[in-house]
Structure 1
Amino acid sequence: MKIEGHGAIVTGGGSGLGQAVARMLAENGAKVTVLDRNAEAAQAMADELGGAAAGGDVTSEEDVQKAIDTADALAPLRIVVNCAGIGPPEKMVGRDGPMPLANFETVIRVNLIGTFNVMRLATACIQAKDPVEDNARGAIVNTASVAAFDGQIGQTAYSASKGGIVGMTLPAARELSRSGIRVNTIAPGIFETPLLASLPDEAKESLGHQVPYPSRLGNPAEFANAAKFLIETQYMNGEVIRLDGAIRMAPK
Protein backbone atom coordinates (compact mmCIF):
# COMPACT_ATOMS: atom_id res chain seq x y z
CA MET A 1 0.00 0.00 0.00
CA LYS A 2 1.31 3.41 -0.91
CA ILE A 3 1.96 5.85 1.92
CA GLU A 4 1.43 9.05 -0.03
CA GLY A 5 -1.83 10.85 0.51
CA HIS A 6 -3.05 8.75 3.40
CA GLY A 7 -3.71 9.76 6.98
CA ALA A 8 -1.44 8.24 9.63
CA ILE A 9 -1.34 8.20 13.40
CA VAL A 10 1.85 7.47 15.34
CA THR A 11 1.66 6.85 19.07
CA GLY A 12 4.70 7.86 21.05
CA GLY A 13 5.58 10.02 18.07
CA GLY A 14 7.05 12.85 20.10
CA SER A 15 10.42 11.16 20.58
CA GLY A 16 12.55 8.11 19.88
CA LEU A 17 11.32 5.41 17.51
CA GLY A 18 7.93 7.05 17.06
CA GLN A 19 9.50 10.35 16.10
CA ALA A 20 11.58 8.65 13.40
CA VAL A 21 8.48 6.90 12.06
CA ALA A 22 6.50 10.14 12.01
CA ARG A 23 9.24 11.84 9.99
CA MET A 24 9.47 8.90 7.57
CA LEU A 25 5.74 8.93 6.95
CA ALA A 26 5.66 12.67 6.36
CA GLU A 27 8.64 12.47 4.01
CA ASN A 28 6.72 9.87 2.00
CA GLY A 29 3.62 12.01 1.67
CA ALA A 30 1.39 10.95 4.56
CA LYS A 31 -0.54 13.39 6.70
CA VAL A 32 0.70 12.52 10.18
CA THR A 33 -1.00 12.92 13.54
CA VAL A 34 1.32 12.52 16.53
CA LEU A 35 -0.19 11.09 19.72
CA ASP A 36 2.03 11.44 22.76
CA ARG A 37 1.64 11.90 26.51
CA ASN A 38 4.00 14.85 26.15
CA ALA A 39 1.67 17.32 24.45
CA GLU A 40 4.49 19.83 23.82
CA ALA A 41 6.62 17.20 22.08
CA ALA A 42 3.64 16.12 20.00
CA GLN A 43 2.95 19.70 18.94
CA ALA A 44 6.60 20.32 18.08
CA MET A 45 6.62 17.29 15.79
CA ALA A 46 3.30 18.26 14.23
CA ASP A 47 4.66 21.73 13.50
CA GLU A 48 7.80 20.27 11.95
CA LEU A 49 5.87 17.83 9.75
CA GLY A 50 2.88 19.96 8.86
CA GLY A 51 0.65 17.48 10.61
CA ALA A 52 -1.52 17.44 13.71
CA ALA A 53 -0.85 16.87 17.40
CA ALA A 54 -2.85 14.99 19.97
CA GLY A 55 -1.62 15.06 23.53
CA GLY A 56 -3.00 12.08 25.38
CA ASP A 57 -2.71 8.63 26.89
CA VAL A 58 -2.98 5.47 24.78
CA THR A 59 -4.87 3.77 27.61
CA SER A 60 -7.64 6.39 27.48
CA GLU A 61 -10.51 5.66 25.13
CA GLU A 62 -11.39 9.35 25.02
CA ASP A 63 -7.84 10.49 24.24
CA VAL A 64 -7.32 7.87 21.54
CA GLN A 65 -10.68 8.48 19.88
CA LYS A 66 -9.98 12.21 19.80
CA ALA A 67 -6.60 11.54 18.17
CA ILE A 68 -8.17 9.23 15.58
CA ASP A 69 -10.83 11.81 14.74
CA THR A 70 -8.11 14.42 14.36
CA ALA A 71 -6.07 12.15 12.09
CA ASP A 72 -9.04 11.18 9.94
CA ALA A 73 -10.02 14.83 9.48
CA LEU A 74 -6.52 15.66 8.27
CA ALA A 75 -6.60 12.86 5.65
CA PRO A 76 -8.47 9.53 5.47
CA LEU A 77 -6.85 7.37 8.14
CA ARG A 78 -5.23 4.20 6.79
CA ILE A 79 -1.89 3.90 8.63
CA VAL A 80 -1.36 3.23 12.35
CA VAL A 81 2.04 2.78 13.99
CA ASN A 82 2.10 2.04 17.72
CA CYS A 83 5.37 3.11 19.35
CA ALA A 84 4.18 4.31 22.76
CA GLY A 85 5.52 2.28 25.63
CA ILE A 86 7.34 2.18 28.95
CA GLY A 87 9.88 -0.27 30.35
CA PRO A 88 11.00 0.39 33.92
CA PRO A 89 13.16 -2.53 35.12
CA GLU A 90 12.10 -4.19 38.35
CA LYS A 91 12.64 -7.64 39.81
CA MET A 92 9.68 -9.76 40.92
CA VAL A 93 11.23 -9.90 44.38
CA GLY A 94 13.74 -7.23 45.28
CA ARG A 95 15.44 -6.01 48.43
CA ASP A 96 12.20 -4.46 49.63
CA GLY A 97 10.10 -7.56 48.93
CA PRO A 98 7.73 -8.48 46.10
CA MET A 99 7.19 -6.08 43.25
CA PRO A 100 4.04 -4.04 43.92
CA LEU A 101 1.32 -5.51 41.74
CA ALA A 102 0.37 -2.02 40.61
CA ASN A 103 3.79 -1.63 38.97
CA PHE A 104 3.25 -4.76 36.88
CA GLU A 105 -0.26 -3.66 35.97
CA THR A 106 0.96 -0.24 34.83
CA VAL A 107 3.43 -1.70 32.33
CA ILE A 108 0.84 -4.13 30.98
CA ARG A 109 -1.73 -1.38 30.75
CA VAL A 110 0.44 1.08 28.83
CA ASN A 111 2.28 -1.33 26.53
CA LEU A 112 -0.25 -4.07 25.83
CA ILE A 113 -3.68 -2.64 26.60
CA GLY A 114 -2.66 0.72 25.15
CA THR A 115 -1.64 -0.93 21.89
CA PHE A 116 -4.89 -2.88 21.73
CA ASN A 117 -6.92 0.22 22.56
CA VAL A 118 -5.42 2.12 19.62
CA MET A 119 -5.82 -0.87 17.30
CA ARG A 120 -9.49 -1.44 18.05
CA LEU A 121 -10.54 2.20 17.75
CA ALA A 122 -8.43 2.87 14.66
CA THR A 123 -9.71 -0.28 12.98
CA ALA A 124 -13.31 0.85 13.41
CA CYS A 125 -12.39 4.03 11.54
CA ILE A 126 -10.33 2.36 8.81
CA GLN A 127 -12.93 -0.32 8.08
CA ALA A 128 -15.36 2.35 6.89
CA LYS A 129 -13.00 3.45 4.11
CA ASP A 130 -13.32 2.40 0.50
CA PRO A 131 -10.53 0.02 -0.51
CA VAL A 132 -7.60 1.20 -2.60
CA GLU A 133 -5.19 -0.91 -4.68
CA ASP A 134 -5.22 -4.68 -4.03
CA ASN A 135 -8.42 -4.26 -1.98
CA ALA A 136 -6.38 -2.62 0.80
CA ARG A 137 -7.91 -0.41 3.44
CA GLY A 138 -5.02 0.07 5.81
CA ALA A 139 -1.95 -1.15 7.65
CA ILE A 140 -1.08 -1.39 11.34
CA VAL A 141 2.46 -1.74 12.68
CA ASN A 142 2.97 -2.48 16.37
CA THR A 143 6.14 -2.34 18.44
CA ALA A 144 7.19 -5.27 20.58
CA SER A 145 10.78 -5.96 21.68
CA VAL A 146 13.36 -8.73 21.64
CA ALA A 147 12.48 -8.92 25.34
CA ALA A 148 9.34 -10.75 24.22
CA PHE A 149 11.63 -13.67 23.35
CA ASP A 150 14.72 -13.34 25.56
CA GLY A 151 13.83 -10.99 28.36
CA GLN A 152 16.40 -10.25 31.00
CA ILE A 153 16.25 -10.34 34.77
CA GLY A 154 14.11 -7.42 35.90
CA GLN A 155 12.00 -7.48 32.74
CA THR A 156 9.13 -9.74 33.76
CA ALA A 157 6.53 -6.99 33.34
CA TYR A 158 8.10 -5.54 30.18
CA SER A 159 8.59 -8.95 28.57
CA ALA A 160 5.04 -9.98 29.39
CA SER A 161 3.65 -6.81 27.83
CA LYS A 162 5.72 -7.17 24.67
CA GLY A 163 5.01 -10.89 24.47
CA GLY A 164 1.34 -10.01 24.49
CA ILE A 165 1.83 -7.71 21.50
CA VAL A 166 3.60 -10.53 19.65
CA GLY A 167 0.75 -12.87 20.53
CA MET A 168 -1.90 -10.47 19.22
CA THR A 169 -0.28 -10.08 15.83
CA LEU A 170 -1.50 -13.18 13.99
CA PRO A 171 -5.06 -13.35 15.36
CA ALA A 172 -5.52 -9.63 14.70
CA ALA A 173 -4.21 -10.02 11.15
CA ARG A 174 -6.53 -12.97 10.56
CA GLU A 175 -9.55 -11.10 11.89
CA LEU A 176 -8.88 -7.93 9.92
CA SER A 177 -7.96 -9.65 6.66
CA ARG A 178 -11.59 -9.62 5.59
CA SER A 179 -11.45 -5.82 5.79
CA GLY A 180 -8.18 -5.46 3.88
CA ILE A 181 -6.27 -4.29 6.96
CA ARG A 182 -2.85 -5.82 7.62
CA VAL A 183 -1.19 -6.15 11.03
CA ASN A 184 2.54 -6.63 11.56
CA THR A 185 4.92 -6.17 14.49
CA ILE A 186 8.54 -5.08 14.83
CA ALA A 187 10.56 -6.45 17.75
CA PRO A 188 13.53 -4.06 18.06
CA GLY A 189 16.74 -4.77 19.91
CA ILE A 190 18.91 -2.10 21.52
CA PHE A 191 18.18 1.24 19.88
CA GLU A 192 19.47 4.73 20.54
CA THR A 193 16.37 6.23 22.11
CA PRO A 194 16.20 9.15 24.55
CA LEU A 195 16.46 6.67 27.44
CA LEU A 196 19.77 5.26 26.20
CA ALA A 197 21.01 8.59 24.88
CA SER A 198 21.34 9.75 28.48
CA LEU A 199 23.91 7.04 29.21
CA PRO A 200 27.64 7.78 29.14
CA ASP A 201 29.37 7.08 25.83
CA GLU A 202 31.28 4.16 27.38
CA ALA A 203 28.03 2.51 28.46
CA LYS A 204 26.48 2.93 25.02
CA GLU A 205 29.61 1.54 23.40
CA SER A 206 29.50 -1.45 25.73
CA LEU A 207 25.87 -2.14 24.81
CA GLY A 208 26.70 -1.83 21.12
CA HIS A 209 29.48 -4.42 21.40
CA GLN A 210 26.89 -6.98 22.51
CA VAL A 211 25.34 -6.83 19.04
CA PRO A 212 26.96 -9.32 16.60
CA TYR A 213 26.68 -7.07 13.55
CA PRO A 214 26.62 -4.19 13.17
CA SER A 215 28.14 -3.81 16.65
CA ARG A 216 26.37 -0.62 17.66
CA LEU A 217 23.04 0.66 18.89
CA GLY A 218 20.25 0.69 16.35
CA ASN A 219 19.40 3.97 14.67
CA PRO A 220 15.72 5.00 14.95
CA ALA A 221 15.78 5.69 11.20
CA GLU A 222 16.41 1.96 10.68
CA PHE A 223 13.29 1.19 12.68
CA ALA A 224 11.37 3.67 10.54
CA ASN A 225 12.64 1.96 7.39
CA ALA A 226 11.34 -1.36 8.70
CA ALA A 227 7.96 0.20 9.38
CA LYS A 228 7.94 1.62 5.84
CA PHE A 229 8.61 -1.85 4.43
CA LEU A 230 5.76 -3.36 6.43
CA ILE A 231 3.32 -0.65 5.38
CA GLU A 232 4.22 -0.74 1.70
CA THR A 233 4.70 -4.48 1.19
CA GLN A 234 1.22 -5.82 0.72
CA TYR A 235 2.15 -9.48 1.16
CA MET A 236 3.59 -8.87 4.62
CA ASN A 237 0.82 -9.72 7.05
CA GLY A 238 0.62 -11.33 10.47
CA GLU A 239 4.40 -11.26 10.91
CA VAL A 240 6.76 -10.34 13.74
CA ILE A 241 10.23 -9.31 12.59
CA ARG A 242 13.22 -8.95 14.87
CA LEU A 243 15.29 -5.86 14.15
CA ASP A 244 18.27 -6.46 16.39
CA GLY A 245 21.60 -7.09 14.61
CA ALA A 246 21.29 -10.79 15.57
CA ILE A 247 21.56 -10.10 19.30
CA ARG A 248 20.23 -12.63 21.79
CA MET A 249 20.01 -10.99 25.18
CA ALA A 250 21.92 -12.50 28.10
CA PRO A 251 20.08 -13.14 31.39
CA LYS A 252 21.40 -9.84 32.74
Structure 2
Amino acid sequence: MGYPKISSLLFIHFHSHFHPMLSSSVGIITGGCSGLGRSAALRILRSGGSAVLADLPSQSHLADPLIEEFGAAKCAFSPTDVTSEEDVNRALDKAEDSGMGVVNVAVNCAGIATPSKVLGKRGVHDLELFANVLKVNTVGTFNVNRLSASRMSSLPPCPSGLRGVLINTASIAAYDGQVGQCAYAASKGAVVSMTLAMARDLAPTGIRCMTIAPGLFLTPLLEGLPEKVKEELGRQIPCPNKLGDPEDFGKMVEAIVTNPMLNGETIR
Protein backbone atom coordinates (compact mmCIF):
# COMPACT_ATOMS: atom_id res chain seq x y z
CA MET A 1 0.00 0.00 0.00
CA GLY A 2 1.54 3.33 -1.11
CA TYR A 3 1.76 6.60 0.75
CA PRO A 4 -1.16 9.03 0.40
CA LYS A 5 -0.77 11.42 -2.48
CA ILE A 6 -0.55 14.43 -0.16
CA SER A 7 2.62 12.99 1.42
CA SER A 8 4.21 12.70 -2.02
CA LEU A 9 3.28 16.28 -2.78
CA LEU A 10 4.78 17.47 0.50
CA PHE A 11 7.96 15.49 -0.18
CA ILE A 12 8.32 17.13 -3.59
CA HIS A 13 7.56 20.56 -2.17
CA PHE A 14 10.15 20.30 0.60
CA HIS A 15 12.88 19.05 -1.66
CA SER A 16 12.23 21.62 -4.35
CA HIS A 17 12.35 24.33 -1.68
CA PHE A 18 15.44 23.20 0.21
CA HIS A 19 17.92 22.07 -2.37
CA PRO A 20 18.24 25.36 -4.28
CA MET A 21 19.56 26.87 -1.03
CA LEU A 22 22.37 24.32 -0.96
CA SER A 23 23.03 24.57 -4.70
CA SER A 24 23.64 28.32 -4.31
CA SER A 25 26.07 27.76 -1.42
CA VAL A 26 29.62 29.04 -1.74
CA GLY A 27 31.45 27.39 1.12
CA ILE A 28 34.78 27.68 2.84
CA ILE A 29 35.41 24.46 4.74
CA THR A 30 38.41 24.37 7.07
CA GLY A 31 39.85 20.91 7.51
CA GLY A 32 37.91 20.19 4.33
CA CYS A 33 40.20 17.54 2.86
CA SER A 34 39.34 14.72 5.26
CA GLY A 35 36.97 13.49 7.95
CA LEU A 36 34.03 15.68 8.95
CA GLY A 37 35.17 18.60 6.78
CA ARG A 38 35.33 16.48 3.64
CA SER A 39 31.83 15.15 4.34
CA ALA A 40 30.50 18.71 4.66
CA ALA A 41 32.24 19.74 1.43
CA LEU A 42 30.85 16.75 -0.45
CA ARG A 43 27.32 17.56 0.75
CA ILE A 44 27.60 21.06 -0.71
CA LEU A 45 29.35 19.98 -3.92
CA ARG A 46 26.95 17.12 -4.70
CA SER A 47 24.03 19.50 -4.29
CA GLY A 48 25.45 21.82 -6.94
CA GLY A 49 27.19 24.29 -4.65
CA SER A 50 30.88 25.17 -4.63
CA ALA A 51 33.55 24.87 -1.97
CA VAL A 52 37.05 26.02 -1.08
CA LEU A 53 38.86 23.35 0.93
CA ALA A 54 41.00 25.30 3.39
CA ASP A 55 43.45 22.85 4.90
CA LEU A 56 47.11 22.34 5.74
CA PRO A 57 49.50 22.24 2.75
CA SER A 58 50.25 18.58 3.51
CA GLN A 59 46.61 17.72 2.74
CA SER A 60 46.54 19.09 -0.82
CA HIS A 61 46.78 15.63 -2.41
CA LEU A 62 43.47 14.70 -0.76
CA ALA A 63 41.78 17.64 -2.47
CA ASP A 64 42.88 16.62 -5.97
CA PRO A 65 40.23 13.90 -6.52
CA LEU A 66 37.43 16.31 -5.54
CA ILE A 67 38.77 19.05 -7.82
CA GLU A 68 38.98 16.51 -10.65
CA GLU A 69 35.43 15.25 -9.99
CA PHE A 70 33.67 18.60 -9.63
CA GLY A 71 35.96 20.89 -11.64
CA ALA A 72 38.13 23.85 -10.66
CA ALA A 73 35.18 26.25 -11.02
CA LYS A 74 33.33 24.40 -8.26
CA CYS A 75 36.07 23.09 -5.99
CA ALA A 76 39.43 24.55 -5.03
CA PHE A 77 42.15 23.96 -2.46
CA SER A 78 43.77 26.74 -0.44
CA PRO A 79 46.65 25.97 1.97
CA THR A 80 45.48 27.41 5.28
CA ASP A 81 46.58 27.87 8.85
CA VAL A 82 43.28 28.91 10.44
CA THR A 83 45.08 31.15 12.93
CA SER A 84 46.56 33.22 10.08
CA GLU A 85 44.56 36.22 8.86
CA GLU A 86 46.52 36.20 5.61
CA ASP A 87 45.86 32.51 4.91
CA VAL A 88 42.12 32.74 5.61
CA ASN A 89 41.73 35.86 3.48
CA ARG A 90 43.59 34.09 0.69
CA ALA A 91 41.13 31.18 0.89
CA LEU A 92 38.17 33.60 0.79
CA ASP A 93 39.76 35.38 -2.19
CA LYS A 94 40.13 32.02 -3.94
CA ALA A 95 36.33 31.57 -3.97
CA GLU A 96 35.85 34.98 -5.55
CA ASP A 97 38.80 34.82 -7.96
CA SER A 98 37.81 31.37 -9.27
CA GLY A 99 34.32 32.59 -10.14
CA MET A 100 32.45 30.79 -7.35
CA GLY A 101 31.42 34.08 -5.78
CA VAL A 102 31.47 35.51 -2.26
CA VAL A 103 31.41 32.87 0.49
CA ASN A 104 28.00 32.53 2.16
CA VAL A 105 28.67 29.34 4.17
CA ALA A 106 31.66 28.85 6.50
CA VAL A 107 32.16 25.41 8.07
CA ASN A 108 34.87 25.16 10.73
CA CYS A 109 36.25 21.62 10.98
CA ALA A 110 39.97 22.31 11.44
CA GLY A 111 41.18 21.33 14.87
CA ILE A 112 43.70 19.45 16.97
CA ALA A 113 43.26 17.16 19.98
CA THR A 114 46.64 16.69 21.62
CA PRO A 115 46.00 14.69 24.83
CA SER A 116 47.74 15.37 28.12
CA LYS A 117 46.90 15.00 31.81
CA VAL A 118 47.21 18.02 34.10
CA LEU A 119 49.57 15.84 36.13
CA GLY A 120 50.85 12.65 34.55
CA LYS A 121 53.81 10.32 34.34
CA ARG A 122 55.67 12.91 32.27
CA GLY A 123 55.02 15.64 34.82
CA VAL A 124 52.85 18.73 34.70
CA HIS A 125 50.75 19.67 31.62
CA ASP A 126 52.84 21.71 29.19
CA LEU A 127 51.48 25.27 29.07
CA GLU A 128 52.47 25.82 25.45
CA LEU A 129 50.57 22.67 24.43
CA PHE A 130 47.45 23.96 26.22
CA ALA A 131 47.75 27.38 24.58
CA ASN A 132 48.29 25.86 21.13
CA VAL A 133 45.13 23.70 21.34
CA LEU A 134 43.11 26.80 22.24
CA LYS A 135 44.82 28.81 19.52
CA VAL A 136 43.91 26.37 16.75
CA ASN A 137 40.47 25.25 17.94
CA THR A 138 39.10 28.45 19.47
CA VAL A 139 41.08 31.37 18.03
CA GLY A 140 41.21 29.67 14.62
CA THR A 141 37.43 29.20 14.57
CA PHE A 142 36.88 32.82 15.58
CA ASN A 143 39.36 34.04 12.96
CA VAL A 144 37.61 32.18 10.12
CA ASN A 145 34.19 33.35 11.32
CA ARG A 146 35.05 37.04 11.65
CA LEU A 147 36.70 37.21 8.21
CA SER A 148 33.96 35.14 6.54
CA ALA A 149 31.24 37.30 8.14
CA SER A 150 32.95 40.41 6.80
CA ARG A 151 32.70 39.04 3.24
CA MET A 152 29.11 37.82 3.74
CA SER A 153 28.02 41.27 4.87
CA SER A 154 28.66 42.56 1.33
CA LEU A 155 26.12 40.14 -0.18
CA PRO A 156 22.60 41.27 -1.05
CA PRO A 157 20.15 39.77 1.47
CA CYS A 158 17.65 37.10 0.47
CA PRO A 159 13.92 37.96 0.88
CA SER A 160 14.07 36.98 4.58
CA GLY A 161 17.04 39.30 5.16
CA LEU A 162 19.65 36.55 5.52
CA ARG A 163 23.12 36.72 3.98
CA GLY A 164 24.97 33.63 5.21
CA VAL A 165 25.69 31.11 7.93
CA LEU A 166 28.68 30.17 10.08
CA ILE A 167 28.87 26.55 11.28
CA ASN A 168 31.33 25.61 14.02
CA THR A 169 32.48 22.18 15.15
CA ALA A 170 32.69 21.75 18.92
CA SER A 171 32.70 18.31 20.55
CA ILE A 172 30.94 16.19 23.11
CA ALA A 173 34.10 16.93 25.15
CA ALA A 174 32.75 20.46 25.68
CA TYR A 175 30.26 18.84 28.08
CA ASP A 176 31.89 15.50 28.97
CA GLY A 177 35.65 16.02 28.98
CA GLN A 178 37.55 12.78 29.50
CA VAL A 179 40.94 12.04 31.05
CA GLY A 180 43.68 13.88 29.16
CA GLN A 181 41.20 16.22 27.43
CA CYS A 182 41.55 19.32 29.59
CA ALA A 183 42.92 21.51 26.78
CA TYR A 184 40.62 20.05 24.14
CA ALA A 185 37.51 20.31 26.34
CA ALA A 186 38.35 23.93 27.21
CA SER A 187 38.83 24.85 23.55
CA LYS A 188 35.56 23.25 22.46
CA GLY A 189 33.66 24.64 25.45
CA ALA A 190 34.77 28.09 24.30
CA VAL A 191 33.41 27.39 20.80
CA VAL A 192 30.03 26.45 22.33
CA SER A 193 30.03 29.62 24.45
CA MET A 194 30.85 31.95 21.55
CA THR A 195 28.01 30.59 19.40
CA LEU A 196 25.10 32.51 20.90
CA ALA A 197 27.13 35.68 21.44
CA MET A 198 28.27 35.61 17.82
CA ALA A 199 24.73 34.94 16.57
CA ARG A 200 23.53 37.99 18.51
CA ASP A 201 26.37 40.16 17.20
CA LEU A 202 25.65 39.20 13.60
CA ALA A 203 21.83 39.14 13.73
CA PRO A 204 21.46 42.72 12.40
CA THR A 205 23.62 41.70 9.40
CA GLY A 206 21.50 38.63 8.59
CA ILE A 207 24.27 36.11 9.32
CA ARG A 208 23.44 33.03 11.39
CA CYS A 209 25.86 31.14 13.65
CA MET A 210 25.40 27.50 14.65
CA THR A 211 27.60 24.83 16.23
CA ILE A 212 27.62 21.03 15.97
CA ALA A 213 29.04 19.05 18.92
CA PRO A 214 29.76 15.56 17.53
CA GLY A 215 30.41 12.50 19.65
CA LEU A 216 32.76 9.75 18.49
CA PHE A 217 32.88 9.71 14.67
CA LEU A 218 34.86 7.36 12.44
CA THR A 219 37.28 9.99 11.12
CA PRO A 220 40.94 9.43 10.10
CA LEU A 221 41.82 10.16 13.76
CA LEU A 222 40.00 6.98 14.85
CA GLU A 223 40.46 4.91 11.71
CA GLY A 224 44.09 4.30 12.69
CA LEU A 225 43.06 2.54 15.89
CA PRO A 226 42.96 -1.28 16.10
CA GLU A 227 39.63 -2.79 15.06
CA LYS A 228 39.02 -4.14 18.57
CA VAL A 229 39.42 -0.65 20.07
CA LYS A 230 37.03 0.86 17.50
CA GLU A 231 34.42 -1.79 18.26
CA GLU A 232 34.76 -1.13 21.99
CA LEU A 233 34.33 2.62 21.46
CA GLY A 234 31.22 1.96 19.36
CA ARG A 235 29.74 -0.29 22.03
CA GLN A 236 29.95 2.55 24.55
CA ILE A 237 27.37 4.52 22.56
CA PRO A 238 23.84 3.43 23.55
CA CYS A 239 21.83 4.34 20.44
CA PRO A 240 22.74 4.03 17.66
CA ASN A 241 25.23 1.51 19.00
CA LYS A 242 28.13 2.46 16.71
CA LEU A 243 30.67 5.14 15.86
CA GLY A 244 29.28 8.06 13.92
CA ASP A 245 29.54 8.13 10.13
CA PRO A 246 31.05 11.40 8.80
CA GLU A 247 28.24 11.43 6.22
CA ASP A 248 25.81 12.10 9.08
CA PHE A 249 27.81 15.19 10.01
CA GLY A 250 27.45 16.34 6.40
CA LYS A 251 23.69 15.84 6.66
CA MET A 252 23.61 18.06 9.74
CA VAL A 253 25.52 20.79 7.89
CA GLU A 254 22.92 20.52 5.13
CA ALA A 255 20.10 20.78 7.68
CA ILE A 256 21.60 23.95 9.16
CA VAL A 257 22.21 25.58 5.78
CA THR A 258 18.73 24.82 4.50
CA ASN A 259 16.77 25.64 7.67
CA PRO A 260 16.86 29.43 8.20
CA MET A 261 15.22 29.12 11.63
CA LEU A 262 18.32 27.46 13.14
CA ASN A 263 20.47 30.08 14.84
CA GLY A 264 22.54 30.62 17.98
CA GLU A 265 22.39 26.99 19.11
CA THR A 266 24.70 24.02 19.59
CA ILE A 267 23.38 20.67 18.36
CA ARG A 268 24.88 17.90 20.44
Shorter-chain TM-score range = over 0.9
**CA RMSD across the alignment:** 1.2
Q: Is the 8 A contact 1:139 1:182 kept in 2?
A: yes
Q: Is the 8 A contact 1:36 1:42 kept in 2?
A: no
- Identity, in percent, stands at 44
Cα distance in 2 for residues equivalent to 1:29 and 1:23? 10
Normalising by structure 1, we get a TM-score of 0.93
Equivalent position of 2:141 in the other structure: 115
Please state if 1:226 is matched with 2:247.
Answer: no
Please state if 1:194 is matched with 2:215.
Answer: no
Shift of 1:44: 4.0
Equivalent position of 2:103 in the other structure: 77
Cα distance in 1 for residues equivalent to 2:193 and 2:233? 28
Shift of 1:87: 0.5
Cα distance in 1 for residues equivalent to 2:129 and 2:55? 21
Q: Is the 8 A contact 1:39 1:56 kept in 2?
A: no
Cα distance in 1 for residues equivalent to 2:70 and 2:177? 35
Shift of 1:5: 2.3
Shift of 1:47: 3.2
Deviations 1:80-132 (A, max 9, x none): 10000110111111112111111001100110000000001111100011012
Please state if 1:39 is matched with 2:60.
Answer: yes
Cα distance in 2 for residues equivalent to 1:191 and 1:117? 25
Q: Is the 8 A contact 2:31 2:109 kept in 1?
A: yes
Cα distance in 1 for residues equivalent to 2:235 and 2:33? 28
Change (3 A) 1:92 1:175: same
5 Å-filtered alignment, 1:98-177, equals: 98-177=124-203
One-letter amino acid of the structure 2 residue matched with residue 41 of structure 1: L
Q: Is the 8 A contact 1:43 1:54 kept in 2?
A: no
Q: Is the 8 A contact 1:42 1:53 kept in 2?
A: yes
Normalising by structure 2, we get a TM-score of 0.88
Equivalent position of 2:32 in the other structure: 13
Equivalent position of 1:61 in the other structure: 85
Equivalent position of 1:49 in the other structure: 70
5 Å-filtered alignment, 1:203-214, equals: 203-214=229-240
How many pairs align? 242
